[in-house]
Amino acid sequence: MTNAVSANRGHQPADQPFLLSKTPGCPQGNISPSASASAETPPDDPLLREFPGIQSGRAFIALAGGLLKDTARFSALALRLDSTTGREPALAPEKLFAYRCEAARTVAQVADEEGAFWGLISSATLGCVLPGRDQASGVAVAKKIQSQLSAIDGHSLTIGIAAFPCLRYGPADIIHNAGKALAHATFFGPGGRACFDAVSLNISGDCYYDAGEIENAIAEYRNALRLDARNVNVLNSLGVCFGVRQEYDKALTAFSAAAKIEPQEVLALYNAGLVHLLRDEMQTALKFWLQAAPQGRDIFELNFQIARCLLETDQAEKAQAYIQRAADLRPESAPAQRLLGDIFLALRLTDQAIAPYKSALRINPNDAAALSGLARCYELRNENMEIALSFCQQSVEIAPDNGRSFLRLGRLLQKSARLEDALEAFKRAEALGEDARGLIMSVEERLIEKAS
């Protein structure tokens, strides 16, 4: 989700376009729920030999769907041994297999006592289905399994619980929902439990988003809102999805709904502002960001964007506090260091501008705007003029669409008496939108005088 800031002054985001409130529980590695849900148990898994005839993967889910198609209600559990998640110390393969067998035996025993059936959802996840049982019964059975396993060896299972009926989900979907509740339960640490709800879907949506499956993420967030219409995190996440698809009206609707529920919801205000910025509505964007500023003092992107907008609207003095805060929050951000230099330069604090420009170039030697800004500082101080000229030339080579850099290059070339080169640079600056007409006429007059 990250995009670097453009070297130009166009309306580009800071380090990432939209801010998504990450709900704890999403596994690392950009693995989507659809990919993890379909992960089959390897045929040589020793657990399958230990329990011959047990169904696994798609076969287990299909079996559950078939057995439950005429069932009015049931609950499903997804269970994972915590030593397989990396949240407990790693075990030797033979020890891990022994624990997996013990966990499977415990689940099988409780399933038999409760009139349930069990299998493998994936190689790491056990499944247990309780026909005719509601969610509360599912929670009770989950506690029973955890208690019995802990009594045997002190080891723990994390469990997700989902119940049917729920929204428009079919019986097979409930197994997947239990898996989503399992991801939710990992937030509570080893031995945690969670019931499928809007938070489970928010986590699942975040995982889809991270994997680049925006359509699936939107579907998850919409279902989450059907379960909890006032969930601000979900509304913000849905808005982000619409935003990255450039469906800005839908994005603003979602962000506005979040802000109505929580008027000072920082992420929704920031994201709404970004939508307006992307629509070239800078003043409206700035209004949203200043509203979010008191609660968003520790958000880099918010402080960066406020500073940049204030600078571009000739309010450099007001911008200084925001960019200093952004630079303190993320000192290794080249865009923040460069913008700090730009603001010092706009305030005519030339000596103070040099250090942040140098910092930006240490982090990113190809930061065209920082090269141009540092060259301008040297020009104003009337020192290192050859270096300044070199920096300006590098700047326009890196970013040939930046009119301000051509303007600065032209001035340096003019001071070096390279009038024809200066004239070309000024004409490029004018073509790129800079007011260079007076400079062009001045150089042309000098060239005429020189020729005569």
- Residue percentage of the chain with pLDDT more than 70: 90
The closest of 121, 145, 125, 141 to 133, measured between CA atoms, is 141
- For 345-366, the pLDDT digits (tens) are 999 999 999 999 999 999 999 9
Q: What is the pLDDT of residue 40?
A: 73
Q: What is the pLDDT of residue 36?
A: 59
Q: Pick the range with the lowest mean pLDDT from 29-38, 89-98, 134-143.
A: 29-38
Enumerate the β-bridge partners of residue 159: 79, 193
Examine the pLDDT at 112 and tell me if it is beyond 90: yes
Residue 148: how many CB atoms within 10 A of its CB?
Answer: 15
Enumerate the β-bridge partners of residue 122: 125
The closest of 12, 16, 21, 3 to 234, measured between CA atoms, is 21
Rounded to an integer, the average pLDDT of 295-312 is 97
Q: What is the pLDDT of residue 201?
A: 97
Q: What's this model's pTM, rounded to 2 decimal places?
A: 0.85
Residue 186: how many CB atoms within 10 A of its CB?
Answer: 21
Specify the pairing of strand 125-131 against strand 74-81.
antiparallel
- For 124-133, the pLDDT digits (tens) are 899 999 999 9
Q: Which residue has the higher pLDDT, 28 or 297?
A: 297
pLDDT band at 10 (very low <50, low <70, confident <90, very high): very low
Rounded to an integer, the average pLDDT of 148-172 is 90
Examine the pLDDT at 221 and tell me if it is beyond 90: yes
Dihedrals φ, ψ of 131, to 5°?
A: -60, 140
Examine the pLDDT at 88 and tell me if it is beyond 90: no
Enumerate the β-bridge partners of residue 158: 80
Rounded to an integer, the average pLDDT of 31-52 is 73
Q: What is the pLDDT of residue 156?
A: 87
Q: Which residue has the higher pLDDT, 334 or 36?
A: 334
DSSP 70-127: T-S-EEEEEEEEGGGTTSS----HHHHHHHHHHHHHHHHHHHHHHT-EEEEEETTEEE
Examine the pLDDT at 13 and tell me if it is beyond 60: no
Q: Pick the range with the lowest mean pLDDT from 56-65, 82-91, 349-358, 401-410.
A: 82-91
In terms of Cβ atoms closer than 10 Å to its own Cβ (0-12, 13-18, 19+), residue 328 is exposed
Examine the pLDDT at 86 and tell me if it is beyond 90: no
| CB-based contacts of 316, cutoff 8 Å, min separation 6 | 310, 343, 346, 347
pLDDT band at 420 (very low <50, low <70, confident <90, very high): very high
- Residue percentage of the chain with pLDDT more than 90: 79
CATH number belonging to domain 29-196: 3.30.70.270
CATH superfamily of the 316-451 domain: Tetratricopeptide repeat domain (1.25.40.10)
The closest of 99, 93, 98 to 81, measured between CA atoms, is 99
Q: What is the pLDDT of residue 3?
A: 30
The structure tokens listed for 217 are: 């993420």
Q: What is the pLDDT of residue 82?
A: 85
DSSP 232-255: HHHHHHHHHHHHHTT-HHHHHHHH
Examine the pLDDT at 63 and tell me if it is beyond 60: yes
Q: Which residue has the higher pLDDT, 1 or 379?
A: 379
CATH topology match: 207-298 vs 316-451: yes
Domain 207-298 CATH assignment equals 2.40.50.320: no
pLDDT band at 65 (very low <50, low <70, confident <90, very high): confident
Q: Mean pLDDT over all residues of the chain?
A: 90
Are the C-beta atoms of residues 334 and 365 closer than 8 Å to each other? no
Give the neighbor-by-neighbor strand order of the sheet with 125-131.
117-122, 125-131, 74-81, 157-164, 193-195
Specify the pairing of strand 117-122 against strand 125-131.
antiparallel
Q: Which residue in this structure is represented by tokens 């913008």?
A: 339
CA 2 to chain centre: 7
Q: What is the pLDDT of residue 14?
A: 45
Q: Which residue has the higher pLDDT, 30 or 205?
A: 205
Q: What is the pLDDT of residue 4?
A: 27
The structure tokens listed for 427 are: 């004409």
Task: Enumerate the domain spans of the chain.
Answer: 29-196, 207-298, 316-451
Examine the pLDDT at 194 and tell me if it is beyond 80: yes
- For 231-252, the pLDDT digits (tens) are 999 999 999 999 999 999 999 9
Q: What is the pLDDT of residue 372?
A: 97
pLDDT band at 256 (very low <50, low <70, confident <90, very high): very high
Examine the pLDDT at 107 and tell me if it is beyond 80: yes
Q: What is the pLDDT of residue 69?
A: 87
